[in-house]
A and B are shown apart, each in its own frame.
Chain A
Amino acid sequence: MVSIDVYNASVDFPIFDAKSRSLKKAVLGLGKAGGRIGVEARVPVIEALRDISVSLRHGDRVGLIGHNGAGKSTLLRLLSGIYEPTRGSSRIVGKVAPVFDLGVGMDPEISGYENVIIRGLFLGMTRRQMEARVDEIAEFTELGGYMSMPLRTYSTGMRVRLALGVVTSIDPEILLLDEGIGAVDAEFMAKARDRLHALVKRSGILVFASHSDEFLLDLCDTGIWMDHGQIREHGKLREVLTHYKGRDPFDGKDRP
């Protein structure tokens, strides 16, 4: 059973400047102080997330909203298991497929085809399984001959297509999307939306961070409003959006 349970989790980033990151300061510092003051204690810490408690189950489609730096991307990484909480606990059960910063984790020098295989292997697929899916991915992404070109020749939108093509083809149970996927054109987005809908219905959880009300309403039904590293509100997406914006974003439109 696919599930995400996060309880009272915090994510604190130590910020090492060039000096405090070096051994010199740690060694000298300990000598001077004469006591056992941990090096960590004097390293400034950014509390990226505080006291996060979330429980997600099969079929949940959550939109993350909030200002820049509110902790949306960090929360996605917490939910993917990349960051384990520095305090509190988290448990992620299911096959996770993230699409974060595009271009990172993809090798610009090798072909789109090769990148598809490697990304699939990273996400727990076998080479054979990925080879069986490559044609389908090529067709869905409409990349055609570009699949055999090095990735550096791709535009941002094309990279998004490729990344979306991979994660939607491997039947993930937990799909985590960062706002970068907004780089694709509307036509492709519509196509991807159907696939994402089917995917979530079939197998799992979707968490999507975005600044676009349009995309959010397309993909999600509940919302989490992140503010200064904390969950300010979570509930029905439209209500959360209304509180966040101070007005109903769909007031006067014929949307549900």
Chain B
Amino acid sequence: MIKKVKGLDPEFKEYASKVESEINRGISTICILSIINGSPENGIHGYQISKDLEEQTNYMLIIEEGTLYPLLRKLEEDGLIKSYREEGGRRRKYYSLTTYGKKVFNYLSGFYSKLIEAIGPLFDVNVNLNQDRYLFCPMCANKIKLTNTELKFCDACGYNLENDLSTRGLKNE
């Protein structure tokens, strides 16, 4: 964001821009995973990811578009996403989450949600988590969808969720 502003003190601009990039690095990985997670079953191509990232973050989280591809390659190398190239046509590469990627994303998503809820007051921001649809594991903050009818244990850390579910009247037998 600060990079676009002209006429600033260069020292301040450089420092702020550096910290901004550091913050954005981790966040953009979670956001990219979230966009891929929400994509259709046949996956999503790189250009659409970058477009969604801009639009869904209200043009606040802007990465240099070329750096998206090394990031996607790394996620694929780490086994979080898989890809295929479309036959014929524009031969675009489509990305989707692997089972392992979904597990990692659920955890990171939960952790990140709880983190912004916790640090919100430091910036005088009120964050309300969507607790009606999700349960955040009390042990590891993994984000668990309450639509799962066989829910008993956290699939990230194995924590027994029955007590937490029963206090919310959602005990699964």
A and B associate: no
Chain B contact residues, CB within 8 Å of chain A: none
